[in-house]
């Protein structure tokens, strides 16, 4: 399917010189996931809801300071390729062009609606993220914002004193309360008003009860509930629906759309813009090299995520890298930090290989133990 079949021709534009305060209000009033930024009428970039939440930029700052690059999509691009572009670019929307002319926008919702009928073949258990950070009900909004910023997430489950799922707080929940409170503030008392917002217990901001999914649910069913409820994701619960097993998001579904059955490994890279002295092709080759060493392990999908910190050394930023493999013997992961994307990736790759070796060693020990017990049983 070509992307032109599902492109939205109506979209919200803001000028690069617009105040961020007005951009924030636009997000709130129109319930947007992203806006297109133009400079003298020409496409310049995008601003996402998540960016606004994770920034400390004041309202009087111009939109140009906040915008980021988004992949420029040709109107005849394939849906799977565009899904990959959105995931790797870390955006919910992207501009669509017809030649050099801005034609419209494509959103993650439009893609998911278009492929809905094909999602019955996957279950939530196939794609959801298991490692989830949660917070107690008395955690402050300020703490949750820091967790979201540091971990690159847009939703955090909330638990009660017994550790059971109590609610869910998202970037939209926090943006909503922040915009409503800051609209009341004057320039002179805004600082104090911001502090009051940050000190609000997350219990007063979270959504409750929470719509959840089971690992056995079809991805189609989960996506239908996300679209109907305008959710970005669902908390996944296990046998006890009060305990958190993980989270499945629209991004997880988009990532699954890029899975291939081709001979080469399917590797997803998030935040490719931080790559400096290493290329995407070198990343793929390095992961394939690790995988090829262990013939019994078949990698179905690999996800490499980079995150840039503010700290720098001689102008080179500190980068966090995480590699996660989905294989026929379970999930494998490795992470690490270094100055520059290549350094961080090499640290993460080394840890990944050590984790693979450890798992293979355990399996070998178990196989040997089984063989030994069978021989003993024959005596």
Q: Looking at residue 309, which CATH number applies to its domain? A: 3.30.160.100
Helix/strand/coil for 290 = helix
Q: Is residue 364 part of a domain?
A: yes
Tell me whether residue 292 is in a domain: yes
Q: pLDDT of 4-32, one tens digit each?
A: 888 888 778 888 888 888 887 777 666 66
CA atoms of 333 and 308, how far apart (whole Å): 19
Cα(236)–Cα(157) distance, rounded to whole angstroms? 10
Question: Is residue 233 in some structural domain?
Answer: yes
In a domain, 373, yes or no: no
Residue 369 has pLDDT above 70, yes or no: no
Q: Rounded to two decimals, what is the model's pTM?
A: 0.64
CB 124 within 8 A of CB 219: yes
Tokens in use for 357? 């070796």
pLDDT reported for residue 371: 47
Cβ–Cβ < 8 Å for 144, 156: yes
Query: Are 301 and 222 in the same domain?
Result: no
Report how far residue 332's alpha carbon sits from residue 324's, in angstroms, rounded to the nearest whole number: 6
Taken in order 356, 359, 361, 364, the sign of the CA dihedral is: negative
Write the CATH number for 79. Answer: 3.10.580.10
Give the model confidence (pLDDT) of 58-83 as tens digits: 778 888 887 877 788 898 988 888 88
Q: What is the pLDDT of residues 268-291, one digit of tens each?
A: 788 877 888 898 889 988 988 888
Residue 377, in any domain of the structure: no
Domain boundary pick from 53, 83, 107: 107
Structure letter (DSSP) for residue 91: -
User: What interhelical angle do 280-292 and 341-378 show, nearest 10?
Assistant: 20
* Whether 68 and 139 share a structural domain: no
Q: Helix or strand or coil: residue 140?
A: strand
Of 174, 5, 12, 176, nearest to 93 by C-alpha is 12
Q: Which residues contact 166 (CB under 8 A, 6 or more apart)?
A: 137, 158, 159, 160, 203, 206, 208
Residues 100 and 31 in one domain: yes
What is the rounded average pLDDT for all residues in the chain? 80
What Rg value do the Cα atoms of the chain yield, rounded? 22
User: Are 196 and 301 in a shared domain?
Assistant: no
Give the domain-ending residue among 75, 107, 139: 107
Which stretches of 38-78 are DSSP H helices? 49-54
Pairing of strands 135-136, 34-39: unpaired
Domain termination residue (choose one: 255, 279, 302): 255
Edge-to-edge strand order for the sheet containing 93-98? 73-74, 93-98, 101-107
Q: What is the pLDDT of residue 181?
A: 55
User: How many independent structural domains does the chain possess?
Assistant: 3
Cα separation of 95 and 250, whole Å? 19
Q: Residue 125's closest CA among 218, 221, 256?
A: 218
Q: Provide the CA 4 distance to its chain's centre, in angstroms.
A: 25
User: Which structural domain range is residue 67 located in?
Assistant: 3-107
């Amino acid at each position: 399917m070509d992307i032109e079949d599902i492109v939205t021709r109506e979209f919200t534009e803001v000028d690069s010189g617009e105040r961020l305060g007005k951009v924030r209000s636009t997000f709130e009033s129109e319930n947007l996931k992203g806006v297109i930024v133009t400079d003298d009428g020409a496409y310049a970039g995008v601003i996402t809801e998540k960016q606004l939440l994770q920034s400390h930029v004041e309202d009087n700052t111009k939109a140009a300071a906040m915008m980021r690059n988004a992949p420029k999509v040709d109107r005849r691009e394939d849906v799977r390729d565009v899904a990959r572009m959105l995931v790797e670019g870390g955006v919910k929307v992207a501009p669509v062009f017809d030649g050099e002319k801005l034609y419209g926008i494509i959103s993650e919702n439009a893609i998911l609606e278009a492929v809905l009928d094909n999602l019955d073949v996957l279950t939530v258990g196939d794609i959801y993220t298991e490692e989830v950070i949660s917070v107690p009900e008395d955690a402050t909004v300020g703490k949750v914002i820091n967790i979201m910023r540091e971990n690159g997430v847009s939703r955090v489950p909330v638990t009660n004193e017994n550790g059971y799922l109590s609610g869910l707080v998202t970037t939209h929940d926090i943006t909503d309360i922040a915009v409503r409170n800051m609209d009341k503030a004057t320039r002179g008392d805004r600082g104090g008003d911001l502090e009051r917002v940050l000190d609000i217990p997350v219990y007063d901001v979270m959504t409750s009860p929470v719509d959840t999914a089971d690992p056995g649910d079809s991805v189609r069913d989960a996506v239908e509930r996300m679209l109907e409820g305008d959710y970005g994701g669902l908390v996944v619960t296990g046998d006890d629906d009060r305990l958190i097993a993980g989270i499945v998001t629209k991004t997880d579904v988009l990532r699954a759309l890029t899975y291939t059955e081709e001979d080469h490994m399917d590797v997803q890279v998030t935040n490719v813009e931080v790559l400096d002295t290493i290329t995407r092709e070198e990343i793929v080759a390095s992961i394939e090299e690790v995988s090829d060493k262990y013939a019994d392990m078949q990698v179905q999908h690999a996800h490499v995520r980079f995150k840039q910190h503010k700290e720098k050394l001689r102008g080179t930023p500190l980068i966090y890298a995480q590699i996660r493999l989905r294989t026929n013997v379970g999930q494998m992961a490795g992470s690490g930090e270094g100055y520059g994307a290549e350094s961080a990736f090499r640290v993460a790759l080394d840890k990944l290989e050590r984790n693979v070796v450890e798992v293979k060693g355990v399996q070998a020990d178990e196989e040997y133990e089984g063989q030994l017990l069978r021989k003993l049983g024959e005596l």
